[in-house]
Amino acid sequence: MMAPRKCSGCRERAVRPEVLDVYRAEIEHDGRKYTVEVPCLAVLKCQACGELVLDDDADERVIDALREAAGLLKPAEIRLHRKELKLTQEQLAGLLSIAESTLSRWETGTQIQQRSMDRMLRAFFEVPELRKFFGAPEHTWRGEAEIVYQDEFQLTRSEHMGFWSAAKQPVVHCLPERTVKVSATGQEGMAA
């Protein structure tokens, strides 16, 4: 176990890795507030004042939960739907009149799409006529690409669903394998 770090809140040297049974937060996104819950979240916690520090891994899980709460497409879903249509990032960005860098950030998860853009994406992915209307290549609205892609997507989706349905169960305890790696400072330690 690593030595406790200094707390940026109370200045006590009492910040230690801890796995929270459930992390809860209210997060505002795109003008709305969402209550987000993440089970078994490895964080750094000040034992004196209770302040929490989230590393990149923890942040990513919280952002995923926010996407789930807001009902937005996940990065992998955007990427997979695009590939299903055999479009490059540059092509899809062009068709939607957005910057390629923006689409890239949605697909890597470093940026969350606005609700309006999420609707646009869903409509584009689901409605062949809309793709035709937007001037997308013919193969994207003839529909032959979808079956090829479906399998890959189902697999990834079921993985997602497996994770999320598990995440929605009341948390009894955190499995040891999950209580790993808090490496906010480059140091690694077992949080148990």
Nearest to 162 by CA among 154, 174, 151, 171: 154
> Smaller CB distance to Zn ion: residue 4 or 109?
4
Q: What residues pair up with 36 in beta bridges, in sequence order?
A: 25
Binding test (CB under 5 A) with Zn ion, winner from 18, 37, 51, 57: 51
CB of 184 to Zn ion, least distance (A): 15
- By CB under 5 A, which span of 50-58, 107-115, 129-137, 167-175 interacts with Zn ion? 50-58
Instruction: Name the residue among 17, 12, 14 with its Cα closest to residue 185.
Output: 17
Q: Which helix (H) or strand (E) holds 171?
A: none
The region of 21-29, 44-52, 120-128, 169-177 touching Zn ion under the rule CB under 5 A is: 44-52
Is position 96 an interface residue for Zn ion (rule: CB under 5 A)?
no
What kind and span of H or E run contains 100? helix 100-108
> Is residue 9 near Zn ion by the rule CB under 5 A?
yes
101-106-112 Cα angle (round to 5): 120
Which one among 5, 7, 44, 93 touches Zn ion, defined by CB under 5 A?
Answer: 7
Among 10, 70, 167, 180, binds Zn ion (CB under 5 A): 10
Residue 38 is encoded by which pair of tokens? 């993440």
Q: Is residue 43 within the footprint of Zn ion (CB under 5 A)?
A: no
Residue that the structure tokens 């169960």 belong to: 169
Residues at the contact surface with Zn ion, assessed by CB under 5 A: 7, 9-10, 46, 48-49, 51
